Amino acid sequence: MNVSRRSFLTSTAAAIGAVGLTGGDGLAATPAVSPDLDGKIPFDGPHQAGVVTPGANEATFASLDAIALNRGQLASALEALSARARDLSQGTTARIGEVDDPPADSGTLGTVIAPDRLTVTISFGASLFDDRYGLARPDGLTTMPAFADDDLDPARCHGDVLLQICANRRDTVVHTLRELLRPVRDSFALRWTIDGFQSADRSPGAGGSRRNLFGFRDGTANPDIRDDALMNKLVWTPEGGTFQVVRVIRMHVEFWDRVGLREQETMIGRARDTGAPLGGKTEFQDPKLADDPKGERIAMDAHIRLAHDAGDGRIVRRGFNYHRGFDAAGQLDQGLIFVAFNQDIERQFATLQRKLAGEPMTDYITPVGGGYFYAPPGAARPGDWVGSPLFAT
């Protein structure tokens, strides 16, 4: 066979490059990982990560419609999602194959993929439990209704599967979504996505809640996620799962910016600068609503009073801000991705939401999307996968 000098040199250079990048097992070389990217959260366990995990800086929520042809294909796709999520969350190395083959990884994070405190939470919507795959719907899972003051866009609601992807850096989240979808394109189709971020902690002291895009601290009254007994009461179902509520809430920021500070604080019931309940000094002190029965300090329709009076409606919140450019009218499309985890949606979230109906804040916010989802227990071990017990019967 005749080989030209140019083709010989080209193939030789490619071979040398491949040898230089890989070891004997076909893995890319492993340079040191920056310590601030090396945080690792276990994927396997009795509960899924990303529920009571301390908040990350960046997030993407991706809702998927199942297009798998049968129950077996669906199970295989869910198994592939867990396997890839496990690898990425624990840190891995891009595998180098034949030089003429498509790469097994996009390469957007380089050859060494650091964990970066990545969590992937996999949840299922009520629509997955129709008659297509013969799966039994978990008790308490329904389709999210339109509450008072909602203006839900069907294209931004519901879905068969929800992926909640959280990490400390945006490129980690973007890479993860791309790599999770790669092996399951024939089983799932994207329905809607939204990207979220946490504001930086700009408190003079440690421990203050982050701010939302109205400028107020958000999540002050969250239950203590370190209290296992409390989480068993409020979050985890008996089998170790939980119910996830996602609400995409547009904030009409231009309108809000024309409201006086005193009126803003009255609607919320807290001081904007410190986050303290009105009349108080620090963010986490008790608002002592019983000592103010006529609303002279904290208005009777203030957000924190209505939420406090919602009975057993306590939930664990993991909210993120979002920014999606602007609409056709030139108004900024910004807001809150409200995320709640609770043991019983009707008893907790829905009770709270109905209590807040008609509050003064509704003039400045509009829920436009989201849904209800069931997050099963975590995968028990490598080789197991999130949702496997649903296929056992």
Give one DSSP letter per residue of 136-153, joined into a string: PPPTT--PPPPPTT----
Kind and range of the H or E run holding 334: strand 332-342
Checking if the pLDDT of 18 tops 50, the result is: no
- The reported pLDDT for the residue numbered 303 is 96
- The reported pLDDT for the residue numbered 311 is 58
Which residues are within 8 A (CB) of 258 and not within 5 positions of it... i.e. 6 or more apart? none
List the Cα angle 385/233/57 in 5-degree steps.
Answer: 60
Dihedral pair phi/psi, residue 246, rounded to 5°: -120, 130
Q: How far apart (Å, rounded) are the C-alpha atoms in residues 350 and 281?
A: 31
- The reported pLDDT for the residue numbered 309 is 66
Q: How far apart (Å, rounded) are the C-alpha atoms in residues 222 and 319?
A: 11
Average pLDDT of the residues of the chain: 90
Asked which of 22-31, 170-179, 372-381, 382-391 is least confident by mean pLDDT, the reply is: 22-31
pTM for this prediction: 0.90
Residue found by looking up tokens 């436009």 in the block: 368
Q: How far apart (Å, rounded) are the C-alpha atoms in residues 291 and 163?
A: 44
Asked which of 84-93, 302-311, 333-342 is least confident by mean pLDDT, the reply is: 302-311
- Both structure tokens of 201: 């902690």
Which residues are within 8 A (CB) of 89 and not within 5 positions of it... i.e. 6 or more apart? 40, 41, 42, 43, 49, 115, 118, 119, 120
pLDDT tier at 162, thresholds 50, 70, 90: very high
Amino acid symbol at 308: H
pLDDT tier at 188, thresholds 50, 70, 90: very high
Q: How far apart (Å, rounded) are the C-alpha atoms in residues 393 and 389?
A: 8
- Both structure tokens of 89: 């969350």
Dihedral pair phi/psi, residue 28, rounded to 5°: -65, 155
pLDDT tier at 7, thresholds 50, 70, 90: very low
pLDDT tier at 182, thresholds 50, 70, 90: very high
pLDDT tier at 206, thresholds 50, 70, 90: low
Candidates 19, 182, 23, 7; CA nearest to 103 is 182
pLDDT tier at 147, thresholds 50, 70, 90: very high
Checking if the pLDDT of 235 tops 70, the result is: yes
pLDDT digits (tens, 9 = 90+) for 312-340: 679 999 999 999 999 999 999 999 999 99
Candidates 280, 264, 352, 279; CA nearest to 309 is 352
- The reported pLDDT for the residue numbered 310 is 58
Identify any residues that bridge with 28 across adjacent strands, giving them in sequence order: 22
Q: How far apart (Å, rounded) are the C-alpha atoms in residues 26 and 262?
A: 63
Checking if the pLDDT of 29 tops 50, the result is: no
Strand ranges inside 2-146, DSSP E: 58-66, 92-93, 112-113, 119-124
